[in-house]
Amino acid sequence: MIRVCVQTEEFDVGQEAARLSRVSDSVGGMSLFVGQVREQNDGLESLSLEHYPGMTEALLTELAQQAHARFNLLACTVVHRVGTLGVGAPIVFVGSSAPHRAAALQATAFLIDRLKTGAPFWKREHFKGGRTAWVEAKEADDTAAAAWD
Amino acid sequence: MIRVCVQTEEFDVGQEAARLSRVSDSVGGMSLFVGQVREQNDGLESLSLEHYPGMTEALLTELAQQAHARFNLLACTVVHRVGTLGVGAPIVFVGSSAPHRAAALQATAFLIDRLKTGAPFWKREHFKGGRTAWVEAKEADDTAAAAWD
Amino acid sequence: MATAVTVLYFASLREQIGREHDTAPVPPIGVSVRALQAILAEQDATVGQVFAATPRLRVAINQALATFENTVKPGDEVAFFPPMTGG
Amino acid sequence: MATAVTVLYFASLREQIGREHDTAPVPPIGVSVRALQAILAEQDATVGQVFAATPRLRVAINQALATFENTVKPGDEVAFFPPMTGG
């Protein structure tokens, strides 16, 4: 089972977990990741997230299918929010379920590492006082994504 | 923040996630793992989980403290159920939150790998027809735990 | 029959160029993405400047990641954007 | 003043021995876990047989994992169990 959503609304971690859990009696482990807007004494107030409608869903689905096949998953889910998100707001949910824990843990790490640089989302930071800045792509993220090649 | 529970009741993944998320504005990533009772065409009906009261809580707390320090976590949670758990029932919840995703992902993998062989829980399988068997310790679990040395 | 491609700009490109899309005429046989960039820069010098000022510019053709050597034909949707920063 | 240790059995050990705990007298100076095992086996041959039949037997003293060379003193709580299978 593959579930991919791009949405402005907040997702429900409990509900997403329940979906991944109930997909089969063979589920032994479920690994979930949630990314959220972080403030590090830099006066960040919010992020605005822009994406490329259509292409985003297609690439996330492809990514989820890759994870499903590579790690023999029973289910995987990717939910990514767009729009304006305040500090502390959840941005992305990734989850995998598999018979054994190692596959689930690895699949979720793979999905979030690949999603960061491989799906058409762009973040803009809004700081106190009105300053804004596009988030720069990080080399560390490219390295993390490439480590799964 | 460290939270350790040993309980018979089911845990609420959404609530546990919310606790880990809200601990600080510096949380950028949160990694969660749920283990559940798996049936693999072997006629398993339930597991009964026995533990060593007192020692379990102490070892889980020590393990959580190790993860907190080693991965610079903002919070981590371990909830482990005991008693009789049917197929599909959640057994264990592990979660970590950190400023960045890599630390959270690694900490959660560390916690579940170490917990499997390092905390005094014992599982007994109950099959259709009344047969029961103690779950044997797996060498792969020792290897996974030792990989974090 | 289409004689042009639709061009989309995202994120900092959209902002610097000041609009979300352009159209550009291309021959039926198609042109490379690089040639399309030249056509767009001739239509509007700002576009050329923004392309030049964007390190690691990315391109997608019909919503699939592409290279600057790939061919673009009339009717295609071509998107330009900076490196992606999701998650 | 205590003159004995409390011994706990868990999981397959508890089941095979048929009870959850024993007590065993030890001298004030203490004895090794190995010596305690011998004392327990003398009290009840079944205990000795179960110890012998349990590969990778584990021991904890006062709720902390220990080795069979560690010393056990009167008043201590000593637990024997098979490898742990949590998670």
How far is A44 from chain B, CA to nearest CA, in Å?
A: 10
Examine the pLDDT at C1 and tell me if it is beyond 80. no
Distance CA B70, CA B149 (A): 12
Inter-chain contacts counted by CB atoms under 8 A, chains B and D: 71
Is D8 inside a domain boundary?
Answer: yes
The number of distinct structural domains making up chain A is 1
Out of C8, C79, C86, name the one closest to residue A115 (CB): C86
For chains C and D, tell me whether 3 or more CB atom pairs sit within 8 A of each other: no
Q: What is the structure's pLDDT at B41?
A: 83
- Domain of D70 in residue numbering reads as 4-81
Task: Answer whether B135 touches D (CB < 8 Å).
Answer: yes
Q: What is the structure's pLDDT at C2?
A: 81
Distance CA A108, CA A78 (A): 10
Q: What is the structure's pLDDT at A38?
A: 95
Is C86 inside a domain boundary?
Answer: no
Verify whether the Cβ–Cβ distance B55 to D60 is below 8 Å: yes
SS3 content of chain B, % helix, strand, coil (to 5): 35, 35, 30
* Chain-centroid distance, C-alpha B85: 15
Is C9 inside a domain boundary?
Answer: yes
Distance CA D40, CA D22 (A): 8
Output the domain CATH number for residue B132. 3.90.1170.40
Q: What is the structure's pLDDT at B6?
A: 98
Output the domain CATH number for residue C67. 3.10.20.30
**Residue C78 in 3-state DSSP?**
strand
The number of distinct structural domains making up chain C is 1
SS3 content of chain A, % helix, strand, coil (to 5): 35, 35, 30
Three-class DSSP labels, B41-94: CCCEEEEEEEECCCHHHHHHHHHHHHHHHHCCCCEEEEEEECEEEECCCEEEEE
- What letters, b where the CB count within 10 A reaches 16 and e where it falls short, cover D11-35? bbbbeebeeeebebebeeeebebeb
Closest-CA residue of D relative to B79 is D87
Which are the contacts of D52, defined by CB distance < 8 A and separation ≥ 6?
Answer: none
Q: For residue C49, is it left (φ>0), alpha (ψ between -120 and 50) or beta? A: alpha
- pLDDT band at residue D60 under the 50/70/90 scheme: very high
Examine the pLDDT at B130 and tell me if it is beyond 90. yes
Site from A11, A13, A41, A42 to mutate, B interface, most B CB atoms within 10 angstroms: A13
Verify whether the Cβ–Cβ distance B122 to D63 is below 8 Å: no
> What ipTM score was computed for the predicted complex, to two decimals?
0.93
- Domain of B95 in residue numbering reads as 2-146
Is D87 inside a domain boundary?
Answer: no
Q: What is the length of chain A?
A: 149
* pLDDT tens, residue by residue, B83-125: 999 999 999 999 999 999 999 999 999 999 999 999 999 999 9
Mean pLDDT confidence for D40-62:
96
For chain B, what percent of residues have pLDDT higher than 90? 95
Distances (CA, A) of A106 to A61, A77, A113, A116: 18, 14, 10, 16
Is D40 inside a domain boundary?
Answer: yes
Q: Which chains touch A (3 or more CB pairs under 8 A)?
A: B, C
Examine the pLDDT at B60 and tell me if it is beyond 90. yes
* pLDDT tens, residue by residue, C32-78: 999 999 999 999 999 999 999 998 999 999 999 999 999 999 999 99
Going by C-alpha positions, the residue among A121, A132, A149 that lies closest to residue A57 is A121
